[in-house]
Structure 1
Amino acid sequence: MKVLLDLQHLNVATTGIKTYMVELAKAARKYPHPEVEWIFTHEPEVQAADKTYQGAKSKIQRLNYHLDYFRWKEFQLPDLVKKYKPDVLICPDFVSPAASLPCRRLTVIHDAFFWQMPENYPRWWRTYFLNLIRKGLKEDTQIITTTNYSKNSLLEYLGNDWPISVIYQAPKGLKAASDPQFLVKKHLPKKGYFVHIGTFDKRKNLPLLVNSFAQYLKQQPTIQKLVLAGGPGQSKQMNDFPVVEKLIESLGLQEQIILPGYLSDGEVKALYEGAFAYVFPSQNEGFGIPILESMGFGVPVIHSDQLALLEVAGGAGLPFQTGNGEDLTEKLILLDRDGNLRSQQISHGKERAKDFSAEKFIEAFHRIILNPTL
């Protein structure tokens, strides 16, 4: 069985989709199947390092990227299908070619955000992108998604015209050496800070976390820091970074709340190793990779009771009511005061993290590749 994996989108992917694509490619090579031959459209590391369109800011730069993406999906990728004659084409970035193809398609649609939160996207871009997604859902197509929550959401918006299967992904393999000097430079004592890693998209609810942390400091001033690592939201409509900056300034918490920006793998690793707890206040997620990364490092997790996060945490996290700042503050205080609870969270989290591995990730793909009726 010959499988063609489309990795073009790695030239701009920065968050969860990038992790998904890179870890899928790594797992395909690390855990080969005797009946499956994998062909990559690009070398993952080389494509991820391509800076041509990364950080495009001007309208011309963004237009050039969209034209390049369209050419790839509608002309170059179909040409590669003709060249390699795969039995299966996997597109892990929502979009499959609109052209008719002589092979099965596995299209990964990670979440239903484009349908659920239209206000977070430019209207023209959302209309265009949803059109691309729908035109690629044709012929022998099977949708792959990340959680049962995402599956149910997609069924609501797409119906059941195409089979939808859930494959749990693997967290990012942080193989780089830890950079403990990062903690020293940022004046972060070990086990002396809460952490969140990710973009400042509005759905992440980071202003809620800042306000809850401020209330926590008034009632339980033992953990003195909060680290919000990551870059701005992915569009003007989605970006809460300026809101968070102004809020921190208005609260006078510039010394207590650290905004280090994007970090290297070594810095991320050090951040996890030294954290007291991870806090995930998001109002909507398709999966929630940081939950598993944190649990794998023995870091307890406080997360909103959003359905995907509850599903991924599997009872090993400490949930609070989504959008309820008072409840979040109470959970921050509870975890700080109750050492036994924190120890239990660490133990349960380590066990839960074992359920999500690169080997299980690729085995699930192999089952669907070899058994079209699954």
Structure 2
Amino acid sequence: MKVLLDLQYLNVATTGIKTYMMELAKAARKYPEKGVEWIFTHEPEKQSKDQTYQGLKTKIQKLNYHLDYFRWKEFQLPDLVKKYKPDVLICPDFVSPAAPLPCRRLTVIHDAFFWQMPENYPKWWRKYFLSLIKKGLKENTQIITTTEYSKNSLEEHLGKTWPISVIYQAPKGMQAATDQKFLAKNKLEQQGYFLHIGTFDKRKSLPLLVRSFADYLKQTQSTKKLILVGGAGQSKQMNDLPIVEKLVKELGLEDMVILPGYLNDGEIKALYSGAFAYVFPSENEGFGIPILEAMGFGIPVIHSDQPALIEVAGNSGLAFETGNQNDLTKKMILLDQENDLRNQLILSGNERAKEFSAKKFIEAFHQIILSSPQ
């Protein structure tokens, strides 16, 4: 059984989708399955480091990228299908070629954000991208998604024409050595800060987190800090970074809220290792990889009661009402005051994280690949 894995999108993928693609490729090589031959369209590490379309700013640059992506999906990828004659084509970035193909398709649609949150995307771009997704849903296609919540959301918007299977993904395997000097260099103490890692997309609700943190400081007189790692949102409509920066100044929290931008794996491992707690206030997620990363590092997690986060965390996180600033503040204070609760969450979270392994991730794919077409 030949499987062709499309890894083109790694040249611009960030955060969740990049992790998904990289971990899928790594797991395919680490855990081979008898009767399954994997073929990659690109070498994962090399493609992820391609700078050709990184940091697009001008309209011409963005247009060139979209043209390149269209050429890939509609001409170059179908040519590779003709060349390698795979039994299965896996497209892990929402879009499969519109052209008819002589093989099964497994198309990964991570979430339903494009349908649920249209206000967060440029109108023309959303319309164009949705048309690419729908045109690629054709003969012998099976959709893969990340949680039962995402499956239900996709069925609501796409109907049940195509079978949808849930495969839980694995968190990022960070192989780099921990940067032992990072905390001291940034004047951070062990268990002296709350942590969030991810882009400043609006759905992440980071202004809410900053306001809740300010209330937490007022009510506890704590010296703990808040570290918000990551870069700007993916579009002007989605980007809350300027709002967060302005809010930090207005609240006088320049010394308490740290915005270090993007960090390497060694620096991120240092932050995970030293954090008091991870806070995930997002209003909408398809999965929530940082929950598992944090739990794997032995950090208690506070998260919104958004369905996908509840599903992934199980009963191993401390949930607050989505969008409720006061409730988030209360949960931060509770974790600060109840050491037994914190220890319980650490133990429970560590066990929960073990359930989302790279081996289980690829085994679920192999099961679908080797199953009879539906």
Same fold (TM over 0.5): yes
**Counterpart amino acid of 1:30?**
K
> Which residue of structure 2 lines up, in the alignment, with residue 335 of structure 1?
335
Relative to the length of structure 1, the TM-score reads: 0.99
Q: Give, in whole Å, the separation in 2 of the partners of 1:268 and 1:174.
A: 9
Whole-angstrom distance in 1 between the partners of 2:97 and 2:209: 40
Q: Which amino acid aligns with 2:273?
A: E
Q: CA deviation at 1:223?
A: 4.3
2:277 equivalent to 1:277: yes
- Find the counterpart in structure 2 of residue 217 from structure 1: 217
Distance 1:198 1:183 in 2: 19
Distance in 1 (CA, whole Å) between partners of 2:46 and 2:366 is: 25
CA distance in 2, matches of 1:158, 1:224: 45
The answer for unaligned runs of 5 or more in structure 2 is none
Same amino acid, percent of matched pairs: 77
How far is the alpha carbon of 1:37 from its aligned partner?
0.1
CA distance in 2 between partners of 1:223 and 1:308 (Å): 32
Distance in 1 separating the partners of 2:74 and 2:221: 56
Q: Partners in 2 of 1:183 and 1:98 — Cα distance?
A: 49
Partner of 2:160: 160
Q: Distance in 2 between matches of 1:17 and 1:307?
A: 19
Distance 2:312 2:55 in 1: 31
Partner of 1:9: 9
1:255 and 1:276 mapped to 2: Cα distance? Answer: 18
Deviation (angstroms), 1:185? 1.8
Secondary structure in 2 aligned to 1:97?
coil
Unpaired runs of 5+ in structure 1?
A: none
Question: Helix, strand or coil: the match of 2:142?
Answer: strand
Q: Secondary structure at the match of 2:200?
A: coil
Letter in 1 for 2:285: E
Match of 1:121 in 2: 121
1:18 is displaced (CA, Å) by 0.2
Superposition CA RMSD, Å: 0.7
Secondary structure of the corresponding residue to residue 319 of structure 1: strand
1:257-272 counterparts in 2 under 5 A? 257-272=257-272
Output the amino acid matched with 1:118. P
1:344 and 1:112 map into 2 onto residues whose CA distance is 33
CA shift at 1:221, angstroms?
A: 2.5
How far is the alpha carbon of 1:366 from its aligned partner?
A: 0.1
Deviation at residue 336 of structure 1 after TM alignment: 0.3
Query: In 2, Cα distance between the equivalents of 1:162 and 1:196?
Result: 36
AA partner of residue 70 (structure 1): F
Distance 2:146 2:248 in 1: 34
CA deviations 1:332-372 (Å, max 9, x no partner) are 00000000000000000000001000000000000000003
Q: Supply the distance in 2 between the matched residues of 1:311 and 1:101 (Cα, whole angstroms).
A: 35
Q: Give the distance between the partners of 2:60 and 2:322, measured in 1 at CA.
A: 39
Counterpart position of 1:23: 23
Query: Counterpart of 1:96?
Result: 96
* Structure 1 partner of 2:184: 184
Distance in structure 2 (CA, Å) of the matches to 1:250 and 1:289? 31
The 5 A counterparts of 1:35-74 are 35-74=35-74
- The whole-number CA distance in structure 2 between the counterparts of 1:93 and 1:336 is 40
Letter in 2 for 1:176: A
- Paired residue for 1:80? 80
Following the alignment from structure 2 to structure 1, what is the Cα–Cα distance between the partners of residues 184 and 246?
26
Aligned residue for 1:126, secondary structure, equals helix
Equivalent pairs, count: 374
Q: Give the drift of 1:112.
A: 0.2
Q: Which moved more, 1:173-182 or 1:195-204?
A: 173-182
The residue aligned with 2:136 is: 136
Determine whether 1:172 maps to 2:186.
Answer: no
Query: Deviation string for 1:130-172 (max 9, x for gaps)?
Result: 0000000000000000000000000000000000000000000
SS of 1:194's partner is strand
Q: Deviations for 1:186-223, whole angstroms, at most 9, x for unmatched residues?
A: 11101000000000000000000000000000011234
1:182 deviates by 1.5
Q: CA deviation at 1:224?
A: 2.0
SS in 2 for 1:213: helix
Using the alignment, how far apart are the partners of 2:204 and 2:100 within structure 1? 38
In the TM superposition, 1:170-319 aligns within 5 A as: 170-319=170-319
Q: Which moved more, 1:181-190 or 1:206-215?
A: 181-190
Greater shift in the superposed pair: 177-186 or 321-330 = 177-186
| Contact map agreement 2:140 2:373 (CA 8 A) in 1 | no
Give per-residue Cα distances to partners, 1:253-283, cap 9 Å, x unaligned.
0000000000000000000000000000000
The residue matched to 1:180 in structure 2 has which SS?
coil
Q: CA deviation at 1:251?
A: 0.2
**CA distance in structure 2 between the partners assigned to 1:223 and 1:109 by the alignment:** 42
C-alpha deviation, 1:373, in angstroms: 4.8
1:218-266 alpha-carbon deviations (Å, 9 max, x no partner): 0112342000000000000000000000000000000000000000000
Counterpart CA distance in 2 for 1:194 and 1:89 is 41
Give the conservation status (yes or no) of the 8 Å contact 2:146–2:168. Answer: yes
Matched residue of 2:228: which SS? Answer: strand
